[in-house]
Amino acid sequence: MPQEDQPVTAAREERYDAQRIEQKWAERWQSDPSLYAAEAHPTKPKYYVLEMLPYPSGALHMGHVRNYSIGDALARYMWMNGYNVLHPMGWDSFGLPAENAAIKNNTPPKQWTLANIAAMKLQMNRLGFAYDWSREVTTCLPDYYRWNQWFFLKLYEAGLAYRKKSKVNWCPQCATVLANEQVVAGMCWRHEDQPVEQRELEQWFLRITKYADELLRDLESLQEWPEKVRIMQQNWIGRSEGTLVDFDLGGTVGPAGSTITVFTTRVDTIYGATSVQLAPEHPIVCDMIARDTDLRAKVEQLVAEQRKAKEAGDIGAIEKHGVFTGRYAKNPYNGEPVPVWVANYILIDYGTGAIMSVPAHDERDYEFAMKYNLEIRLVILPQSNDDETMAEPALPFTAMNAFLVNSGEFNGLTCADAIKKMSARAAEKGFGKPTVTFRIKDWGISRQRYWGTPIPMVYCEKDGVVPVAEKDLPVILPDNVPITLAGGSPLMNVPQFLNTTCPKCGGPARRETDTMDTFVDSSWYFYRYADAHNDKAPFDSAKIAYWFPIDQYIGGVEHAILHLIYSRFWTKFMRDMGLVKNDEPIARLFTQGMVIKNGAKMSKSMGNVVSPDEMVARYGADAARLYSLFAAPPDRDLDWQESGIDGIQRFMGRVYRFYLRNPVETGLAPSPPAQSQTLSPKARDLQRKLHQTIKRVSDDFQGRWHFNTCIAAIMELVNEIYGAESAGKIPASLIADVRRNIALMLAPMAPYLAHELWEMTGETGNLLKSPWPKYDPALAAEDEIEIPVQVNGKLRGLVVVPASATNDQVEQAALADEKVKAAITGKQIVKKIVVPNKLVNIVVR
């Protein structure tokens, strides 16, 4: 120990020198890479704790520090509780920022990315996070992304990866396509002021919709996920049950067909349909306008206005417009012809892109009908016990708790019954059927970018679209590619990459030049940690069977939809391939709050960023970690206040000085536990407080994750020590007890300090693998308790009774209290309530 090497000066002894002590331990820990190494072990209980892997932007921010401090505390706590812990870290290292940096600094994306990784790894190590670096995953390296390509081939074989020409979301600033999930209120998720344009491109899609039902259903099993996340995913998947109904156009339209199929969830209101509305992009509309230039002009104007409104930043519901096509379609239930319109509020990519319009019973249809003077026909009425006085409801009337009128043979049915009977009728007669639609769409993964996983497909003039052979993986992303944001993949300009031979016929062919969405990388990375160096397969299934599902995943709520729904999809696909056995990847999810300062999220544009490096340099890693755990419970937003971290530093010094005042020579056997009978009252109070503190910290750690109250409890214990010390000498055995236990309790949250304290107690064993302390209920028990006494619910006195006092004894003591007496004199006692160990309330009149 340094104290032995060189006599410390008095001044130095006073202060906890975080820099020196943390340096010392960091060196020791790094000299032993096996310290945090995990090994699958069939008989040991496992615990897989994972924090969301960062994008290597160049430096950690406080959100990372908070996220990783929580995960690290948990990992260390579980180690101390005897679990075989897997706690890995990696880098989500493909993506656009590397290309932007390349353009700005003229550095290749790979070089920039790897340098950032090195820098951030140093930061993480300086912060003392206990990761098993032997399992590090870097998604931009071929030994990882080759398995993205391999999975893509498997998806293609299974018919779950397909190519289609489609309108896609295009961000002009990113110069690439965005997934639906990356469009936020019509704007690019990376450029909040950039409206997303629609472009027609050939794109690769993954058929996530195949799993839509299961993704929804299995949310039920994720009871340990925040309800908020489950609801967000549920809404995103957006399942609705409804009916398809064919409206006959009378054979007057071209190749797109002569019936319009509408989707409705309220077929019970179909006798109230007074028009059919088509999306402007509907194929039947295309047919119609091909032969009607007048209509064409009107529809084009409709579309143009729509686009203008969107680009002007209008989000949500914009004003409804429509155009009458001059045609009629027949309602198959009553044979009535209704006018066919084209309307801007009909979405082409939901349902069938066509609806029946029931103005009396749908808000949007009502608004539209009022504007264009369409007929409004009431076909359901509220249910009432008193049929005589039934009043017409306010329109639009959309309740389900109603019954049918003006609906022919279906009159009198309740809405729910009518939906069943009427959709069955459609199927029976062949003009429709019950159906289920989803809001979620297939996942478009093509990106016209350089810094991503090449899609392993080849285009041959003779054989068409041909997958690269598995043995030829990985398709290596070439270096030294000139990067522009001009549009189109930069790989198109690399002949050595572009030109290849057809895997089928051997003739000349061209490679796919698009790369994969980076969310592919993060959809399965946590499986790779279980078997990070496998070069025969993405992983060994036996290892997955041991480690999965992830016991605890921790990250920001911003990934509630994208990353977490893609990951679930990927797992289900791998399960169906037979690679894994689990249906879900993540058993428990925790979403921590944001780090804010001065009322706003920390960001460069707000200028309120606090640098972790600066905090570590000024206060040390432990202080930064402890503060991020202390300032708020982990699920809430944390308001960063520099003065708060001063207080933490002061607390650490207070703990440290207690150990300095009570030195122990190394090599001594641990003292036997203190005997409570022989202790002075003040020492007994300290002993009780110690055991109560162990209980509180254990409870708050395990069950609630309230690290803030864990730390507060330890602070109270330290305050008690100082009080006891000033009151007289404390027996050495009790001091030894306290000293050991404080080091153990601090170990998950402040590892540097805890290790130093552990060494100062004369312990030589590995703190990380030392058992978490247990409290003794007998030693934690109070001898006497203070019971508040209320009169009519108002506090009037306090009585001190033995902890063993009966309710009667407590009541007698309460009635004997002078203040209580004064409050009840001359009044009649109506009731006496004694809550054991809690309170007495006397009700008087």
Residue of the chain from 525, 651, 705, 772 that contacts RNA (CB under 7 A): 651
Residue of the chain from 135, 146, 320, 327 that contacts RNA (CB under 7 A): 320
3-state secondary structure of 212: helix
Which of 319, 155, 208 shows the shortest CA–CA distance to 564? 208
711 forms part of the interface with RNA (CB under 7 A): yes
| H runs (alpha helix) in 706-817 | 707-727, 732-746, 751-760, 777-780, 807-816
- As measured in angstroms, the least distance from the Cβ of 240 to RNA is 3
How many H-runs (helices) and E-runs (strands) does the chain carry? 28, 34
434 forms part of the interface with RNA (CB under 7 A): no
Q: Which is nearer to RNA, 20 or 636 (CB)?
A: 636
346 forms part of the interface with RNA (CB under 7 A): yes
598 forms part of the interface with RNA (CB under 7 A): no
Can you point out the beta strands (E) in 351-391? 354-357, 380-382
- Examine residue 467 and say whether the peptide bond preceding it is cis (omega within 30 degrees of 0): no
Residue of the chain from 353, 456, 585, 620 that contacts RNA (CB under 7 A): 353
682 forms part of the interface with RNA (CB under 7 A): no
Residue of the chain from 305, 647, 662, 817 that contacts RNA (CB under 7 A): 647
Stretch near RNA under the rule CB under 7 A, chosen from 326-334, 523-531, 692-700, 762-770: 692-700
Q: Which is nearer to RNA, 157 or 637 (CB)?
A: 637
15 forms part of the interface with RNA (CB under 7 A): yes
Q: Which is nearer to RNA, 466 or 561 (CB)?
A: 561
723 forms part of the interface with RNA (CB under 7 A): yes
Q: Within 13 Å and on the Cβ side, how many CA atoms surround 804?
A: 2
Residue of the chain from 2, 33, 82, 238 that contacts RNA (CB under 7 A): 238
Mention every residue, 6+ apart, whose C-beta is less than 8 A from residue 468.
Answer: 149, 153, 456, 457, 458, 475, 503
Q: Which is nearer to RNA, 42 or 681 (CB)?
A: 681
Give the containing element (helix H, strand E) for 564: helix 562-577
798-837 residues in contact with RNA (CB under 7 A) are: 798, 819, 823, 831, 833, 835
Report long-range pairs for 108-117 (Cβ below 8 Å, ≥24 apart): 108/479, 108/480, 109/450, 109/451, 109/483, 110/140, 110/479, 113/56, 113/140, 113/451, 116/56, 116/57, 116/58, 117/56, 117/91, 117/93
439 forms part of the interface with RNA (CB under 7 A): yes
265 forms part of the interface with RNA (CB under 7 A): yes
Residue of the chain from 4, 27, 227, 808 that contacts RNA (CB under 7 A): 227
Tell me the two tokens of residue 532. Answer: 């990070």
Residue with tokens 């590397």: 98
- As measured in angstroms, the least distance from the Cβ of 252 to RNA is 23
- As measured in angstroms, the least distance from the Cβ of 96 to RNA is 19
Residue with tokens 């006496």: 832
Q: 755-789 burial by CB neighbour count: b if 16+ within 10 A, else e?
A: bbbbbbbbbeeebbebebbebeeebbeeeebebeb
Looking at residue 352, its amino acid is T
185 forms part of the interface with RNA (CB under 7 A): yes
Residue of the chain from 603, 719, 804, 807 that contacts RNA (CB under 7 A): 719
Stretch near RNA under the rule CB under 7 A, chosen from 170-178, 200-208, 315-323, 546-554: 315-323
Neighbouring CB atoms inside 10 A of 480's CB total 7
660 forms part of the interface with RNA (CB under 7 A): no
Task: Judge whether 261 and 356 are in contact, CB under 8 Å.
Answer: no
143 forms part of the interface with RNA (CB under 7 A): no
Q: Which is nearer to RNA, 58 or 788 (CB)?
A: 788
Contact letters (x/-) for RNA, 530-559, by CB under 7 A? ---------------------------xx-
Q: Which is nearer to RNA, 187 or 405 (CB)?
A: 187
Q: Within 13 Å and on the Cβ side, how many CA atoms surround 734?
A: 23
How far is residue 498's CA from residue 514's CA, in Å, rounded to a whole number? 11
Residue of the chain from 447, 449, 568, 696 that contacts RNA (CB under 7 A): 696
452-511 residues in contact with RNA (CB under 7 A) are: none
Give the containing element (helix H, strand E) for 86: strand 84-86
Residue of the chain from 8, 231, 469, 537 that contacts RNA (CB under 7 A): 231
Residue of the chain from 362, 517, 551, 756 that contacts RNA (CB under 7 A): 362
- As measured in angstroms, the least distance from the Cβ of 308 to RNA is 12
Q: Which is nearer to RNA, 39 or 241 (CB)?
A: 241
Q: Cβ-count burial of 350 within 10 angstroms (0-12 exposed, 13-18 middle, 19+ buried)?
A: middle
369-408 residues in contact with RNA (CB under 7 A) are: none
User: If binding means CB under 7 A, how many residues of this protein chain bind RNA?
Assistant: 92
Mention every residue, 6+ apart, whose C-beta is less than 8 A from residue 680.
Answer: 728
How far is residue 233's CA from residue 564's CA, in Å, rounded to a whole number? 9
- As measured in angstroms, the least distance from the Cβ of 729 to RNA is 16
β-partners of residue 795 are 790
- As measured in angstroms, the least distance from the Cβ of 839 to RNA is 4
How far is residue 518's CA from residue 587's CA, in Å, rounded to a whole number? 24
195 forms part of the interface with RNA (CB under 7 A): no
Report long-range pairs for 778-784 (Cβ below 8 Å, ≥24 apart): 779/676, 779/687, 779/688, 779/690, 779/691, 780/688, 780/691, 780/692, 780/694, 780/695, 781/688, 782/688
433 forms part of the interface with RNA (CB under 7 A): no
740-799 residues in contact with RNA (CB under 7 A) are: 786, 788, 790, 792-796, 798
656 forms part of the interface with RNA (CB under 7 A): no
355 forms part of the interface with RNA (CB under 7 A): yes
Residue of the chain from 715, 727, 779, 824 that contacts RNA (CB under 7 A): 715
